[in-house]
Structures are given as structure tokens and as C-alpha cells.
Structure 1
Amino acid sequence: MKQTSLLISLALAGMLGHSTAMAAPTAVATWNFNGTLAADEPSVAALTAIDPLGTSAFITDSVFGVSRTVYRFDGNQTPSQQAGLSIATAGLLNNDNAYSVDIVFQFESNQSTWENIFGVSNRQSDNAFYVEPGNHLQVWPTGGGPTVFTFGDYHRVTLTNRGDGTVTAYLDGIFQFDLTTTSMDFSAYSLVNPNRLIHFFADNVVGGGQNEFADGRVALIRLYDIELTNTQVGDIGNDSNTGNTGTVPEPATLALASLGLLGAMGLRRRHA
């Protein structure tokens, strides 16, 4: 009982650090995929399609019960034939590692053991943000979250980077994990990624684990040049862009989720 109480106290302390109330933040870049890869902000560049097969396209789909246009990325697991999107963030995000990415998307089916959500290595490293074999979020190679990611359904996934080697992830607005890792730091890949590229859905083409890809559909991508707090993640989930409430649970609920996470933190994968 003492150990359980201590774990709850530690989890509460960690989560409360992210719950400071702030004004709703403004994204520095927003892509709504309404028939174009252009950003909503006139000064922001369009996304670049990674579409080696030429089969990705805009389609109409139901996203959280609302009919709208989305972008379907269509490829296969062969690294040179994977599909996705990319954006150069040099000059868009501040020249540091503090940022947040908010995405509404689905993977159509569980096509591989791991599925790449996004990375910041210019596809030169396997270190990235994934759905792992147990169908949870994970930043390789450090650990994952407790909530199951279901395939064929839209989810809102948010990753924040504090800028000091700490990342926090949310699935549908629900806290998943805090991790100490440099896997999502632009500075870790400065030599191979000078333009601070973010690559979405397409996996690495160098090193191990190169086949971690699944076809999918994306309805929204937003970038912030700060680490969002858990309150802010909830706030931006309540706007008209996301189409769902994205509610973040109270800290006590977060603590219980963190206890469930402790058993998952040891999960590791074997590279190909």
C-alpha cells in the first residue's frame, strides 16, 4: 500500500506540472486538407506529399461524425514506396526543441508491427513517434501509453516537446505518458536535417526497422512553437477544427493512468 501511495503521489506531482491554466494557444501552422495541402495561414508553406506510387488523394470521409474532405496517403511497406507528408519548419518553429504537434488521422488497418506517426530525423533514424505492436502510442526507444489505438477510426494524437529532453503524448485528449528522450529533438539530427523537417507517416530509410508503415487518412495537422500544457491540449480539442471534445482528465485520473503505464514502460522492440 505504501508503494502504491507513493506511485500515485509521484504521478500526481508530474501531471500537475502540466496543468497550469493559460490562454488558448494559437497554432503557427494549420492544415485542414480541404482539397489542398496548403496551410490555412497565408505565410506558411504547403505540405509536401510523399507519394512515390502516385496513389494518394483527397477523398470525402466522416470524421467524428462530420462529412468532410481528408487526405488519404497510400503506399506500401517497402521504404522507397511509403507515403506520407513533410514540412520544413526552419523559420516556422523557433530554433529550439520546444514544440507541439496535434494531428487528427487514422491508420486504415494494422499493416505492420509498428506504424510511424511522425519523426524529425529527415527519415534518417528509427527514433520517432509510433503506434507500437500492442496498439499503443510510443516514442521509440523509450516506452508507451496505456490507451489502445484502434485502426480504421479517427483519433486525435498530440505530442508536446518541452525542449529539455522531455516529451508528453495524448490520445484523443487523454494523457498517455511523459518520457525523457531526445528522439523527438530537432537538435539530435541537425547534421542530417538542417531544414528541421517533420515527416509524417513515412518511416526511416536508413538503419533498422524500415518497414513500419500503414496507409491512412489525415484530417488535420497543427504545429505550435511551444510545449502545450495538458489544459491547453484539452482547450484546442474543443474547437471546430478537431470535431471532438478532446477532454483531458483531471489529475487524479492521470495518476491512475500513469500507474497502468508503469507496466508498459518496459516494452521494447527488436529491430529488423
Structure 2
Amino acid sequence: MEFLNDMALFVEVVKAKGFRGASDATGVPNSTLSRRISALEKAIGLRLLHRTTRKVELTEAGQLYFERCKRIVDEARMAHEQLGEMLAQPSGVLRVSLPVDFAVTYMAPLIAEFAERYPGITFDLDLTPRQVDLVSEPFDVAIRMGEPANSQLIARPLASLIPQLYASPRYLERSGELKEPAELERHECLNIIRANTWTLYKGKESASVSTSSRFAINSVGLIRRLATFGMGIMLVPEAIVADDLAAGRLVRVLPRWQGKPMPVYALTETRLLPAKTQRFIEFFKERLAQV
């Protein structure tokens, strides 16, 4: 399809009325322009230009060819411009699978901000803990916390969130302040399902603690609510509890210690993404990097 590029160069030579002007406009050397136009004439089997030392003039065939080529080049330029506009203001339905608690407690205001920025996009948001099938189900992207289970998907890292320990002032008044991670073993530690070990880090130092709880829970949102009611200590990223911290419903526990970083990924089935999906991923990567 190289002849399409040669057609565009031919149009530039005619518009500039010479190879030198076309060279200035395109950045292509005179010698290269002359060689490419000669190759185009040879491929067509007709002379398109009369060349003199001062200027070039169209032959009869060249005039006809120029009129056709100019329309094609203009259409191609318009197509590029329209795609540029689509990238700047994408539209269409964006189908996203989101983790329930993270979406409700942290992503909701960001989704609202994104929707205001791109009014042409409508949203189909599915909040589910299950691993959706991006190949057979009509999702554009899935946001997931933790390492991806499916290595066949394209995983784009958005952020790495640091879990920290939180409890309500009421709980700490009743059960006592903590000074060392080992003391967690005598506390009510709210955790997902029945995970019974927390590994905490302070610089290069680490500590693994056996935890216990009266509750077996599969919802971070419910864990957060129970923590605000004084039911125990939780280990989650600050993004999950930002509002409760600001309102004083929760406070940091063992502030020098933290959990293992928790990656957040945008998962897609392909690298070739429509503009709406590209902008969504870029937006959340930018915002999550600020956490």
C-alpha cells in the first residue's frame, strides 16, 4: 500500500508547485520526493508531471489523477481528525466490572468525576466479587485488587495500596492500646473469611501474627462498618476508610507497621482498546497514584 503514501506526496508537490516547496512542507528531501513520484508514474504507466528547472506542471493525466488523489487525501486527513476528536471526547457504553466494596467506598466519587469529564460516555457497572470472563462476557475492563488469576488477560497496574491497621476509639478504650504486633493475638481482628495470619512490616523488619475473630466475613464494607461500631481491628488500605478517618470514627493502630502492598489492576482481554476504555484506565491510574 506504499502507493497511497506516494499519492499524498504527489498532492503535496502539486500544491506546492514544485519539489522544493513540497520538501519544506513535508520534511521529505527533494531527491526522495522526485524518486517516489517517478516510481508512482512508472507504476501507473503515465507521466503525471512536466518537470522544468523552475517548476513542475501537470500533464492531462496528472490533472485527473490530482483531482482524485486530493479527495482521497482529504478524506484520509478528515478520518484522522475525527479519530482525534473521538479520543479527546470518547462516547459509547462503557461496561466495567468492579470489586463491590472498593467501588462503593472509594471509587464512587471518582466515577462521578470521570462521568462529568466525558459526558458522551454511558455506564454499565457490574459490582461483583466473581472473576468475570472478559472473553465471553461483554465487559470492556475489570478492576481487580490482588494479583490476577488469569495470565491470558492484559493486566495494567493502576496502583499499589498499603494496608494499615485501624480501629474505633471506642474499641481501643475498651480493649487497650497496642504497642507491638504480637499484642494483636489477644484482640478481635476483623478479617476476610477465616484468614488467621497477618504479616506486618516496619522497614526491613516483619512480624507474622496469628489472629482470631468471632466473625467470618466476605465483605470489606461490612468489616469496615463493624470496626466503626467498636467490634475489632481491621487491616485495609487507607482508601477504604478515608471518610471514617476524617470523621474520627476510626484511628490508626500501630502506625509504624503496615501490611503487604496490595496491587490494583485494570484487566482487559486485548491491548487494542477503544478510546472510552483507554481514558477510563488512564484516569483511574492517575487518581489512584495520588492515594
Q: TM class by shorter-chain length?
A: under 0.3
* Higher Cα radius of gyration: 2
Higher RCO structure (Cα 8 Å, ≥6 apart): 1
TM-score by length of 2: 0.20
Structure with greater strand share of residues = 1
Return the structure number with greater helix share: 2
Normalised TM-score (structure 1): 0.21
